[in-house]
Amino acid sequence: MRYLPLTEADRRSMLGRIGVPSVESLYRDVPEFARLSAPVDLPAHLGELEVEREIASLAAKNLGSAAVPSFLGAGAYRHHIPASVDHLIQRGEFLTSYTPYQPEITQGTLQYLFEFQTQVCLITGMEVANASMYDGATATAEAVMMANRVTRRRRAVISGNLHPHYREVIATHARFHGFEMAAGDPSPGKPEDLIPLIGAETSCVVVQNPDFFGHLQDHGALGEACRKAGALLIVAVTEPVSLGLVESPGAMGADIVTGEGQPIGNSLGFGGPYLGLFAAREKYVRQMPGRLVGETADVEGKRGWVLTLSTREQHIRREKATSNICTNSGLCTLAFTIHLTLLGEAGFTRLAALNHATAVGLAERLGKIPGCKVLNDSFFNEFTLQLPKPAAEVVERLAERRILAGVPVSRLHPKRPELANLLLVAASECTTERDIAALEAGLKDVLR
Amino acid sequence: MVETPVPPTFTGNRGLMIEEPLIFEQGEAERCGVDLPDVPAHRERLGGLKRKGPIGLPGLAEPQVVRHYTRLSQKNYAIDMGLYPLGSCTMKHNPRLNEKMARLPGLADLHPMQPISTVQGALEIIDRVAHWLKTLTGMPAVAMSPAAGAHGELCGVMAIRAALDHRGEQRRRILVPESAHGTNPATAAACGFEVDSIPANDRGRVDLAAFDAKLGPDVAGIMITNPNTCGLFESDFARIAEDTHKVGGYVYADGANFNAIVGRVRPGDLGVDCMHINLHKTFSTPHGGGGPGSGPVVLSAALAPFAPLPYVVHGAKGFDLVEQDDGGQSFGRLKGFHGQMGMFIRALAYMMSHGADGLRQASGDAVLNANYLMAALSGDLSPAFEGPCMHEALFDDAFLKGTDVSTLDFAKAMIDEGFHPMTMYFPLVVHGALLMEPTETESKDSLDQFIGALQHLARRAKAGDTALFHEAPRLTPRRRLDETAAARRPVLRWRPPAPESQAAE
């Protein structure tokens, strides 16, 4: 077996040194009835070539979104990833390193995490950011629980235009962690007023910007209302590329910003692994979940970095920890930070502008198709298209023609028949004129 | 031997050890590492929310970026460089085939919300990984979506809560051995349970008398790591499980150490109700400097109905993905989309490469390597418990008594010898613990060198060479860092230096 270096001679000599006759005898603490005497009923080992053939044949049963015109978004976005990103994250010193518990020999990981935290602060307009969470949905649920701790209240107001997966993850935690949720109704493409839902028991208000339907909203007044009521404003960003063009949540008065980091540096990968962004006002730092990297100096006075404020964490505080999170999304974080470093101010803002311009062009074209209507006044790179028939059906028929037309809202809001004809359509710098023409022609044809 | 002092260099660099400033200290706003086309003319539709000020991101060209991260990478220790004996973390070789497979077109570029008809191969991969996990654990069901081990714990404990709620029972006490990972009590608390700890006995196992005394009809369940964090098999596990079931509780097994028994013992045979499996430990998906992980949870028939969404089923037209629970008992959703697909592909490549025979050999070699370490080091270090151990060897700090060298000092001296230290001061039930997990992917030569280095250090400590330890590490990019100062006045981000006019005032 190519991954196992011990030879039979090694094994014999090692067993001799230990003083036991066989490897099996090392398992003598396992009750006899539970010891398997032979391999389980699964296939035997395979060489690299065989494994490669088999997995490639499974991959070939899928329709990869890079191979066809694709307009999918709804919380996961395809952008061009520069070649150096994937090359650098595969350096063994990054790929095969553990959480940086020994700072003297993990300064590489610690420094990029410190840079990542700073980048996240800058794009979100916040004061502190952690070293990542699992994904945008779990980060948002953790933000709600943090707001409950900060305010010592247990009622969260949730926008009806929050991504349904985010809302559902919050609901799971609400049930088991014991807090209440007041959720608004979806209002595609329209502004939403959550201020009337805020009360004396409200710990936080959770909104998304751009929202699930692509709409952009100024949350300044909502933030003001939260402050007056002693609640925190949590803004979730599912498409961080938008932050290159749109006013930051921090500038709108957010207390906590969460986000999905996948669109920067990370491939779609059928939904994971991704990375959750988590940023907050500095005064709340000791209530934050997750790992934090801080600057310090070594005994020679040289600047260096360490994991810090770990008294919030499970390995120190056990049942009193701010979260049970341990492993986060280190390598996805590295891909994010490298991509954003390559982009820099000039590239990031231009990338965002390109996305918006492409989406505006796409919206104008699709809005002219008979029976179709763009519901948004404002959007970044994704908008809601109202179709004359159920969107799921249309998407299925276009998939047969090798066009991935978008995400039917019904896939995520199946219990709301009033949303069945809505299609979320996203564009990016990867979208070509040919892609747009293909979707336009396909839609006209299918809707005829 | 003459020791030549190293004179200071102009750059501060020391040969291959190169100082690297932050990206923010080498950026220029107009410089860019990507070339993007001009933005076409368009009518802006941002609803008046266009960003007003600059963001402040630094600009670097591609060669600068490549050099920056290459230099940073060289300040890290990694499995690719050497033995990484972090007990309980399972730092084994990460096959590169797995990386290649996860990047295949048709997998890396699959959007999670594509029509089900276009992702049949992806669902088949999830189903296949599920089949391997169920077969290896002897369990009837598995929840695939948890994102990491601690997330898997959350999943398992939520399933227990959901099952109790379904029974209409308000049990709130959960038993957790003192030797447990910190995630166990943190998870139980996050699910609304009260944690009641059980001490370990002098054999490093759950103290059965204490367990019996704490067991009662208000116990929701027990969270128990097996093999445990002392590197020992809980020989009374089946009895503990049976007794827990008798009072109506559930058995959560922490599968962090499943790699010791994979292919040799099925947790399902011991009475487990749920167990998370760290794909990044047992099935070698890379740790990546702290993730991403993946923590599928195998479930007993009693807990399977409460599994989270989504899950893969065999439908009329092939595989289907159940994303909504219509009238079912699922406790709900744990994360966005469907789970750590990239990790499933890597784990599948790993499992197929090993096969049933290779996985059994791998666990055997892991246990053999740990016992070899234990045997070879028992003369110089102090084993915490009598053997044999499973996949990791636990020592206490008795061998350092009277030397003025702590476990931490000893670990830092190992760094100068070119090794990543073992897990220290954990489990908490052992004084000054040193927990070493060599894994099956170390050769005998590599273990022998490691053993030699540890024997040398133990003898130096006993000989009173305390300076060697107190000043270690000396040969690293940074020496011991001031963690107290970092926590007292946290600097968690870079900020631009104050303009000179202000600084002068």
Q: What is the pLDDT of residues A113-166, one digit of tens each?
A: 999 999 999 999 999 999 999 999 999 999 999 999 999 999 999 999 999 999
Helix (H) or strand (E) holding A377: none
Residues B107 and B164 both lie in one domain: yes
pTM over 0.80: yes
Q: What integer pLDDT is reported at residue B291 of this predicted model?
A: 93
- B286, B308, B486 ranked by CB distance to A95: nearest: B286
| Residues B127, B222 within the same domain | yes
Instruction: Let me know whether B204 and B282 are in one domain.
Output: yes
Q: Are residues B209 and B101 in the same domain?
A: yes
CA nearest to A130 within chain B: B492
pLDDT value of residue B505: 43
Number of domains, chain B? 2
A65-79+344-447 falls under which CATH superfamily? Aspartate Aminotransferase, domain 1 (3.90.1150.10)
Domains of chain A, residue spans = 65-79+344-447, 83-339
**Residues B421 and B341 both lie in one domain:** no
CA dist., res. B489 & res. B486, Å (int): 6
SS3 at position B266: coil
The helix/strand/coil state of A442 is: helix
In a domain, B495, yes or no: no
Q: Answer yes or no: do B445 and B342 share one domain.
A: no
Residue type, A298: D
In a domain, B166, yes or no: yes
| B335 to A137: CB separation less than 8 angstroms, yes or no | yes
Tracing tokens 């890396």 back to the chain, one arrives at B108
Check for a shared fold between A65-79+344-447 and A83-339: no
Q: Do B340 and A273 touch (CB under 8 A)?
A: yes
Q: Which of B55, B182, B486 minimises the CB distance to A295?
A: B486
Q: What is the DSSP string of A19-38?
A: T-S-SGGGGTTS-GGGB-SS
B200, amino acid identity:
A
User: Does B90 map to a domain?
Assistant: no
Q: Give the pairing of strands A202-208 and A180-183.
A: unpaired
CATH assignment at residue B460: 3.90.1150.10
Query: Do B340 and B364 share a domain, yes or no?
Result: no
Cα dist. A327→A277, B146, B257, B279 in Å?
Answer: 14, 12, 16, 12
Which among B80, B125, B154 has CB closest to A92?
Answer: B80
Per-residue pLDDT, B504: 46
Residues in A closer than 8 angstroms to B79, CB to CB, are: 92, 96-97
Gap between the Cα atoms of A331 and A20, Å rounded: 42
Q: Closest to A30 (Cβ–Cβ): which among B132, B265, B357?
A: B265
DSSP single-letter state for residue A175? I
Cα–Cα distance for residue pair A65/A403, rounded to 1 Å: 9
Rg of chain A over Cα atoms, rounded to whole angstroms, equals 25
The reported pLDDT for the residue numbered B33 is 98
Q: Please check whether residues B132 and B212 belong to one and the same domain.
A: yes
Residue to test with chain A: of B88, B110, B173, most A Cβ within 10 A: B110
Report the alpha-carbon distance of residue B336 to residue A271 in Å, rounded.
8
Strand bridging mode A422-426 / A382-386? antiparallel
- pLDDT, mean of each 10-residue run, chain B (505 residues): 80 93 93 97 96 96 98 98 95 97 98 98 98 98 96 96 96 92 90 94 95 96 96 96 98 96 98 97 95 97 97 93 90 97 98 98 98 98 95 97 97 98 94 97 98 98 97 96 95 89 51
B201 within a domain of the structure (yes/no): yes
Q: With contacts defined as CB-CB under 8 Å, which chain A residues touch B480?
A: 104, 298-299
Range of the domain at B398: 356-478
CB within 8 A of A286, min separation 6: which ones?
Answer: A309, A312
Q: What is the pLDDT of residue B387?
A: 82
What pLDDT does B123 receive?
A: 98
For residue B119, the chain A residues in CB contact (below 8 A) are 62-63, 270
In a domain, B499, yes or no: no
Q: How far is A414 from chain B (nearest CA, A)?
A: 8
Instruction: Work out the angle at residue A172's Cα, subtended by the Cα atoms of residues A167 and A176, and round it to the nearest 5 degrees.
Output: 145
> A18 and B375 in contact by Cβ < 8 A?
yes
**Min Cα–Cα distance to chain A from B413, Å:** 11
| Selection from B197, B195, B146 nearest residue B299 by Cα | B146
Q: Which residues of chain A have pLDDT under 50?
A: none
Q: How far is B200 from chain A (nearest CA, A)?
A: 16
Interface of B with A in 211-270 (CB under 8 A): 232-233, 235, 238, 261, 263-266, 269-270
Number of CB pairs < 8 Å for A and B?
723
Radius of gyration of chain B (CA): 26
CATH code assigned at B260: 3.40.640.10
Which of A6, A29, A399 is the closest to B444 by Cβ?
A6
Are B329 and B440 members of one domain?
no
One domain for residues B340 and B377 = no
Query: Would you call B313 helix, strand, or coil by DSSP?
Result: strand
Strand order in the sheet with A373-374: A373-374, A382-386, A422-426, A407-408
- B223 and B167 within one domain: yes
* Option in B41, B478, B483 nearest A308 (CB): B483
Name the CA dihedral angle for B266, B270, B271, B274, rounded to a multiple of 10 degrees: -40
B485 part of a folded domain: no
Amino acid identity, position A75 = G
Same domain for B234 and B284, yes or no, is: yes
Angle at B255 between CA B253 and CA B256, to 5 degrees: 135
Residue B180 covered by a domain: yes
Among the candidates B310, B336, B351, a domain finishes at B351
Question: CA–CA separation, A195 vs B214, rounded Å?
Answer: 49
Second CATH level (architecture) for the domain A83-339:
3-Layer(aba) Sandwich (3.40)
Q: Is the ipTM of this complex over 0.90?
A: yes
Closest C-alpha among B126, B121, B54, B75 to residue B341: B126
Please write the tens of the pLDDT for every residue from B428-456: 999 999 999 999 999 999 999 999 999 99
